[in-house]
Amino acid sequence: MSSLPTSRSRYPGAAAVATLVFFVVALVVAVVDGVSGVVYTQGQTLKSLDGFEYTLPALGFALPYALWQLVPMAVGVFLSFWLIVPIRPTQRVGGVVLRTLVAVLIGLVISVAVEAVRLTTSELPVNPYTQSGAMDNRYYILVVGGLAHDAWQLFAGSFAIVVAAGLALWGTLHTRPTFGPLRTPTAPIDIDA
């Protein structure tokens, strides 16, 4: 006999589906934005319509950068939706939006940490050392500024999508009898009656 879900119920399957929807939509938006930006810039620079020949190379550059930012963001959103501040069917809309904001912030922290490790361990486009061999303090300004810029772009590009995914998750849990509070214990069917 099944019982009504308690307020402590967690829904990892539904959280995974909502996170996957967020990831796919955000990846498509990021790649299209990157490719269209390169095509537009190249077309304007060359003063011709031949900017479209840069579409495939731009896709090759936009996809890895989007993955480096969106995979850690999706991990943070999933962990938030499932474990840290799970979305439950009994909550109000304001609570759901607040929990999606927390999910965005957790995803941003994970994404910025991964980006910082990637940036400091990869081959840098600038030399962080002066001619005397000492560390140049301006290097840290470049790194922190780059991380802040990436975090702001990721926040601006993914906040609305995470809120939509969180509200869709809540709506699914709220209205589906197999997940949410509308689930009732099934009574045996009397065939002889």
Q: What is the DSSP letter of 54?
A: G
Cα 63 from chain centre: 15
Q: How many CA atoms are closer than 13 Å to the CA of 32, on its beta-carbon side?
A: 7
**Residue 161 contacts residue 25 (beta carbons within 8 Å):** yes
Contact partners, residue 67, CB within 8 Å, separation at least 6: 27
pLDDT 10s digit of each residue in the chain, 193 long?
444 444 456 778 888 999 999 999 998 888 888 777 776 666 655 555 555 566 666 677 777 878 888 899 999 999 999 889 988 888 899 999 999 999 999 999 999 999 888 877 776 655 566 666 666 667 777 778 888 988 998 899 899 999 999 999 998 887 875 654 444 555 555 555 5
